Amino acid sequence: MAEIVIIFDFDRTLIDGDSDNWVVTEMGLTEIFHQLRFTLPWNRLMDRMMMELHSQGRSIHDIEACLQNMPVDSHIIHAIKSAKSLGCDLKIVSDANQFFIDKILEQHGLLDCFSEIYTNPTSVDGNGNLQIFPYHGDALLPHSCNLCPSNLCKGLVMDHIRGSSPSDQIPRRFIYLGDGGGDFCPTLKLKECDCVMPRTNYPLWKRISDNSLLIKAEVKEWSNAEELERILTQLPAMIAVLKARERLFSPLFSSSIRRCISYSHEDERDSKVFIHPSAVVHPSAVIGKGVSVGPYCTVGSSVKLGNGCKLYPSSHIFGNTELGESCVLMTGAVVGDELPGYTLIGGNNIIGHHAVVGVKCQDLKYKHGDECFLCIGNNNEIREFCSIHRSSKSSDKTVIGDNNLIMGSCHIAHDCKIGDHNILANNTLLAGHVIVEDYTHTAGATVIHQFCHIGSFTFIGGGSVVSQDVPKYMMVTGERAELRGLNLEGLKRNGFTMSEMKSLRAAYRKIFMSTETVPLSLEERLTKMEQNQELYSVPAVGAMLQSIRDSFAEGRRGICKFRQWLDS
């Protein structure tokens, strides 16, 4: 059995581009792809693209010919063959699909270099349609990893590969090459004697840079095919380094620095908990595997810490508070409060230096003894000096979704609802009951009045005071924020097509920049717009109009003013 196992991601690692995007672009599917981009998970979206090709009369041979034209850098080809000749076991773990990978590797004479390929399976049905299935489909139970897409957890695949090595064989060392966010989960599975090779300035590289204390393996960066070839052709020297690291890290931490608690029947290194002697950890607290608690930390009696959590010095967790796996509390962070109710935080969240999360709200209507709640999803970064409060009453919750960046000194008050993929720049202040949908972006020093509703894909300029709703797709700014048009740059960055943006601009002008000789009310303009079948049939336009109408429903605050509309 090979002593070194090299695991490659495929897209943007083994090949410089993306095989899915190559097929979409080369076979003329760009427009329908962008129309459906945010309506389906990626795996199902690509299966839908194959159905579209079949409906256009394109055969499986056409797809194969397209894939055979995809280039693979000569340096990569040489690196793979060199590693194979050195006796390494080469594998692929990819969120592409079996057909695409096989055909590209066959074309360049590389398929036989790999002992196993773990990816989304494919088949050709009786009508000649290529079907793409999720790796975790009918044959495998769905996974529960919050770091990976639902169709494939690369961390579980990594566990399977490591577990397939017989215990009486020579220990295997793993080298993992990747670029994307989905490669972070298997990276966390690597040990001190392993190596991870992230591509510089790609998502995996950033995740490792931001969470360096979670990484046990040697980290060796690469930026292009030539550099990767040079590294892999020096494998004998790399193997020597990994062996040295294995000897160096065999006693993980001095017992004079850490108090160690081990779990039976588990990998010893993965299951130890490290607690500094000066930390105060209540004996009733539930501590997961691989948790690290630094000096002068406090962990309360009702706290639950998921596997792999790290508490930096002088960070504290109180009350009925639960942290998911791989959460990080930076120095001075305070999470939870000794109040009825709970603070629930998902996996892979970072709570910044001196941030205060999950404490009592600043609402005088809150009654002492009432339950109050805060729920935070996964993959959020909450930076230094932020404050996020629990709800003001037992019938409500403060909620934050997934993949949000909340920059330094932001405040999110009681009962706010924050969606996914939002960016709140420094000193953004949200009063109580504010709703922020998805993919919004606030610039610095933004203030949002209580009960306001901020629609998806909006942008709020720096220093703005928002006292009324901001409908979907729009941009506002000003000391009393006013509509200043559409957030075209944000729409472009998030995959909206030129056709969609053109339709949105036309609709916006008809509503807010009307050239009608007889002035019309906003209601009349909306009604007239809804009768314009050419524009109203565009889903994004319909969503924008509905967002405007919703802002005038009972209990809502109306929309931010627009100068020309007010003057008309």
Q: Which residues are catalytic?
A: 414-415, 432
Ramachandran quadrant class, 139 (left: phi over 0; alpha: psi -120 to 50; beta: rest): alpha
Q: Say how many C-beta atoms besides its own lie within 10 A of residue 553's C-beta.
A: 9
Neighbouring-strand partners of residue 281: 299
- Can you list the alpha helix ranges (DSSP code H) found in 401-494? 488-493
Question: Do residues 89 and 2 make contact, with C-beta atoms less than 8 angstroms apart?
Answer: yes
Residue type, 296: Y
In the 8-state DSSP scheme, what is residue 520? Answer: -
3-class SS at 182? helix
**Does an H or E element contain 114, and which?**
strand 114-120
- The angle formed by the CA atoms of residues 310, 185 and 200, to the nearest 5 degrees, is 95
CA distances from 421 to 83, 355, 398, 418, 477 (A): 39, 20, 17, 9, 21
- Can you list the alpha helix ranges (DSSP code H) found in 168-326? 184-188, 203-210, 225-232, 235-248, 268-271
Chain position carrying tokens 């599975």: 189
Question: Do residues 394 and 411 make contact, with C-beta atoms less than 8 angstroms apart?
Answer: no
In the 8-state DSSP scheme, what is residue 284? Answer: T
Per residue in 376-386, is it b (16+ CB within 10 Å) or e — as a string? Answer: bbbbbbbbbbb
Chain position carrying tokens 């603070």: 343
Is 254 exposed, middle or buried (CB count within 10 Å of its CB: 0-12, 13-18, 19+)?
Answer: exposed
In the 8-state DSSP scheme, what is residue 367? Answer: P
What is the Cα–Cα distance from 114 to 94, expressed in whole angstroms?
A: 13
What is the Cα–Cα distance from 413 to 403, expressed in whole angstroms?
A: 19
Ramachandran quadrant class, 255 (left: phi over 0; alpha: psi -120 to 50; beta: rest): alpha
